[in-house]
């Protein structure tokens, strides 16, 4: 009988282990691997650019005359740092006649730097990676050739607010006739020409409606290569719909209007260096678990002695947490889970931020280097790891999130276990929409999404719902952190702090539930949520 029980128990253990492996590796929606490495899709963009260059090189044999007053508006990569000259020297002249001051930041910074050429190369590489990550195929200039017979740019034309740009790709493919005419109309800007072409009539320069005509089609098309658009209505991010037409056809295209995104570059050392302490800050939130927090710090120091740890603490009677490279921030009592996350993340100055719970334990499998490597080489913004329980079970908490339009009553959100596809070049890593409470992210991107401070006692998926459409998220199952034991001995009631923690942490008050429902229904405008 005893042998039979042992045999059954062995079968159950093996079966359970197989189920755990299957649960963590199987995904009904998993697709083949996709290459997310930076710059892998430049081939098609190069083809488009070569085609565009061929189109723009037409009619080079037709002469033109530069209009200097317009040409100076479209010069690119020529910004200058020039101050106003002081012409009047009187008491309070700076208040009465304020002058423009200039600061050559490159000279000021580089002249005191021990390796100016090295830091310039480092900044250039960081900026190149930023451009690749922040660019979109929808920003690439594409010109629809004149099949209608109007040729125009279908996408990729952009101008900064109240600035001027040349509209590339305008062309008319027309039959022989005595005169050829096209016109342009806009609502948020005006048209002009940067140069004039003989035998071409241009009417409406500096206006929202411009007409161009000529008895010679080649001359008209040459003139169209010099048409400019100037934004006249300030808006930090919008678009103008331009009408381009002739006597029998009309087309529409958009010109994006907006400020360019200011890059967030982190001077964390020279390229190719992997100084984790200069690249990563570890953040956590603690409440009534100083013993667990100390265990976490000790484990971090075993593997990363110099890495900065930022702690947000909303205990009623806070204790000192001191040590090298530790920043301890005291909050109002019981301020809450997401408020603490916001505070901790707001203090990070490194390129990446690692979130951990205060009852986690670093091990030899907690390889932050792999997390950094995947973020450095791919378009991902966040990469999660796995958490190993004391029982040996390891969880990754991979979920996909989708929103389905639902009309006037709100939308439906669907959360499912699984992931989208593998990531080529990085074994055991996948693309997903939500990960476990152990993840490394680009600091600026995590700060942009933020954490809703109304979620005081519980909340996790809410961050990833807010991040949907903003963050590109991955998960690697072979970067593992341990979870401190939660097993309670039958003869132990636990310490007073444990009891107090559980009372706060697992509170199911009607107020907490109401806040969660309000956030989902009102803030996120959902009428339904399905989960798996």
Residue 255 is inside which H or E element, if any?
Answer: strand 250-258
- Lookup: tokens for 473: 């998220």
How far is the CA of 464 from the CAs of 134, 326, 336, 459, 473, in angstroms?
20, 28, 18, 10, 9
Can you give the pTM of this predicted structure? Answer: 0.77
Q: Does residue 182 register a pLDDT over 50?
A: yes
Burial class (CB in 10 A: 0-12, 13-18, 19+), 88: exposed
**Residue among 359, 349, 276, 343 at smallest CA distance from 311:** 343
Name all domains of the chain by residue range, CATH numbers in brackets: 58-73+137-258 (2.60.40), 274-530 (3.90.550.10)
User: Contact, 340 vs 347, CB < 8 A?
Assistant: no
Q: Which long-range contacts (CB under 8 A, 24 or more apart) does 376-380 make?
A: 376/129, 377/37, 377/38, 377/425, 378/36, 378/37, 378/38, 378/423, 378/426, 378/474, 379/36, 379/38, 379/132, 379/133, 379/472, 380/36, 380/423, 380/431, 380/472, 380/473, 380/474
3-class DSSP string for 207-254: ECEEEEEECCHHHHHHHHCCEEEEECCCCCEEEEEEEEECCCCEEEEE
Q: pLDDT averaged over the chain?
A: 84
Burial class (CB in 10 A: 0-12, 13-18, 19+), 332: exposed
Q: Does residue 453 register a pLDDT over 50?
A: yes
136 or 238: whose pLDDT is higher?
238
User: Contact, 279 vs 270, CB < 8 A?
Assistant: no
Task: Report pLDDT digits (tens) over 139-179.
Answer: 777 777 666 799 999 889 999 999 999 999 999 998 889 99
Task: Report pLDDT digits (tens) over 26-65.
Answer: 444 445 677 777 766 666 566 656 666 666 677 788 888 8
Residue 479 is inside which H or E element, if any?
Answer: strand 473-483
Q: Which range among 82-86, 342-346, 476-480 shows the weakest confidence by mean pLDDT?
A: 82-86
Residue found under tokens 């991010």: 237
Secondary structure of residue 127 in the 3-state scheme: helix
**CB atoms < 10 A from the CB of 98, how many?**
9
């Amino acid at each position: 009988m005893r042998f039979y029980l042992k045999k059954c128990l062995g079968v159950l253990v093996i079966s359970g282990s197989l189920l755990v492996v299957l649960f963590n590796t199987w995904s009904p929606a998993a697709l083949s691997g996709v290459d997310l490495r930076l710059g892998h899709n430049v081939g098609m963009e190069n083809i488009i650019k070569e085609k565009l260059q061929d189109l723009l090189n037409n009619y080079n044999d037709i002469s033109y005359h530069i209009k200097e007053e317009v040409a100076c508006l479209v010069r690119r990569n020529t910004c200058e740092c020039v101050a106003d000259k002081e012409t009047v020297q009187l008491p309070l002249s700076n208040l009465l006649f304020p002058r423009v001051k200039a600061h050559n930041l490159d000279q000021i910074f580089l002249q005191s730097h021990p390796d100016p050429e090295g830091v310039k190369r480092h900044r250039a590489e960081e900026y190149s990676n930023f451009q690749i990550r922040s660019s979109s195929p929808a920003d690439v200039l594409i010109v629809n050739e004149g099949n209608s017979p109007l040729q125009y740019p279908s996408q990729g034309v952009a101008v900064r607010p109240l600035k001027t740009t040349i509209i590339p790709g305008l062309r008319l493919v027309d039959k022989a006739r005595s005169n050829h005419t096209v016109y342009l109309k806009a609502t948020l800007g005006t048209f002009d020409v940067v140069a004039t072409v003989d035998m071409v009539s241009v009417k409406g320069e500096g206006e929202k409606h411009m007409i161009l005509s000529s008895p010679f089609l080649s001359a008209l098309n040459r003139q169209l290569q010099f048409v400019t658009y100037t934004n006249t209505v300030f808006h930090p991010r919008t678009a103008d719909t331009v009408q381009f037409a002739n006597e029998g056809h009309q087309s529409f295209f958009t010109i994006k209007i907006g400020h360019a995104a200011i890059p967030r570059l982190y001077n964390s050392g020279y390229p190719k260096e992997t100084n984790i302490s200069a690249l990563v800050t570890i953040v956590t939130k603690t409440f009534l678990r100083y013993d667990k927090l100390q265990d976490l710090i000790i484990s971090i120091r075993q593997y990363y002695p110099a890495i900065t740890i930022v702690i947000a603490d909303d205990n009623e009677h806070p204790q000192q947490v001191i040590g090298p490279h530790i920043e301890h921030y005291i909050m109002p009592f019981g301020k809450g889970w997401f408020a603490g996350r916001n505070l901790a993340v707001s203090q990070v100055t490194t390129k990446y931020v690692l979130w951990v719970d205060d009852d986690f334990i670093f091990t030899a499998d907690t390889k932050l280097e792999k997390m950094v490597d995947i973020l450095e080489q791919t378009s991902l913004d966040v990469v999660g790891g796995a958490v190993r329980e004391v029982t040996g079970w390891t969880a990754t908490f991979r979920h996909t999130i989708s929103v389905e339009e639902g009309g006037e009553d709100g939308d439906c959100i669907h959360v499912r276990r699984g992931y989208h596809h593998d990531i080529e070049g990085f074994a055991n890593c996948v693309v997903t929409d939500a990960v476990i409470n152990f993840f490394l992210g680009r600091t600026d991107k995590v700060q942009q999404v933020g954490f809703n401070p109304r979620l005081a006692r519980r909340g996790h998926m809410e961050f990833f719902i807010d991040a949907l459409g903003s963050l590109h998220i991955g998960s690697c199952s072979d970067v593992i952190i341990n979870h401190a034991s939660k097993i309670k001995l039958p003869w132990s009631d636990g310490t007073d702090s444990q009891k107090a923690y559980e009372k706060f942490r697992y509170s199911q008050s009607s107020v907490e539930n109401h806040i969660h429902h309000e956030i989902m229904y009102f803030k996120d405008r959902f009428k339904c949520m399905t989960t798996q």
